[in-house]
Amino acid sequence: MKFFFSILLVLFLSNCSKPKTVLICGDHICINKSEAKQYFEDNLSIEVKIIDKKNKKQIDLVELNLKENTKEKRNINILPRNNTKRELKTLSKKEITEIKKNIKSKRKDNQFSKKIIKKEKQEKKSKEKKLKKKKKSENINLEANNVNKKRKDIVDVCTILDKCSIDEISKFLIEQGIKKDFPDITTR
């Protein structure tokens, strides 16, 4: 009985395996994941080709009978057509090394630009802190007398930020939300 279950388990697990796939970057197979990632960032699409070692050349008996019984000539395809039969380019070693060098150089450029952006953000934060300290010291006297605080003027977020992208706006709003205290709901 144990032998039967072990065989059944092996058969079950062997059928649950993922088919082997290959990523296609344009006209050739991607060298590595970093090339595939960069190709996707540039083109926002990537092809996945499933490599199937089993040749499915099973002939459908219904189609064969239809073909033999009819006297008229009908064009019935016995084998399925693959729309993705285009030839993939095989890369030489020189081309592979050139692609890898390009990927590394672009990665270094991205890291360098990220460092510059971080420095700019730190400088901007330090300037903002200095301005806030000055404003707080001036506004302390005014706010102490007024219990009902007036609503501040609405300011466009894009005027505050250097880059007006969704990611930058969300980061800014999250930072502002963390800095603010909970509202005082007891005052009217």
Q: Which residues contact 21 (CB under 8 A, 6 or more apart)?
A: 48, 49, 50, 51
Residue 118 belongs to a domain: yes
Q: Which residues contact 30 (CB under 8 A, 6 or more apart)?
A: 22, 23, 24, 36, 39, 46
- Least confident span in 35-39, 54-58, 124-128, 139-143: 139-143
Residue 124 belongs to a domain: yes
Host domain of residue 122? 91-140
Residue 186 belongs to a domain: no
Mean pLDDT score, 9-22? 80
Higher pLDDT, 135 or 115: 115
Mean pLDDT score, 78-100? 74
Residue 21 belongs to a domain: no
Residue 40 belongs to a domain: no
Residue 132 belongs to a domain: yes
Q: Which pLDDT value is given to residue 104? A: 85
Split into its structural domains, the chain has a count of 1
Asked if 155 contacts 172 with a C-beta cutoff of 8 angstroms, the reply is no
pLDDT tens per residue across span 166-188:
888 888 888 888 888 887 788 76
Q: Which pLDDT value is given to residue 114? A: 77
pTM (2 decimals)?
A: 0.38
Residue 136 belongs to a domain: yes
Task: Report d(CA 105, CA 128) in Å as an integer.
Answer: 35
Q: Which pLDDT value is given to residue 28? A: 87
pLDDT tens per residue across span 102-130:
888 888 887 777 788 888 888 888 888 87
pLDDT tens per residue across span 61-86:
766 676 666 555 555 555 555 555 66
Residue 56 belongs to a domain: no
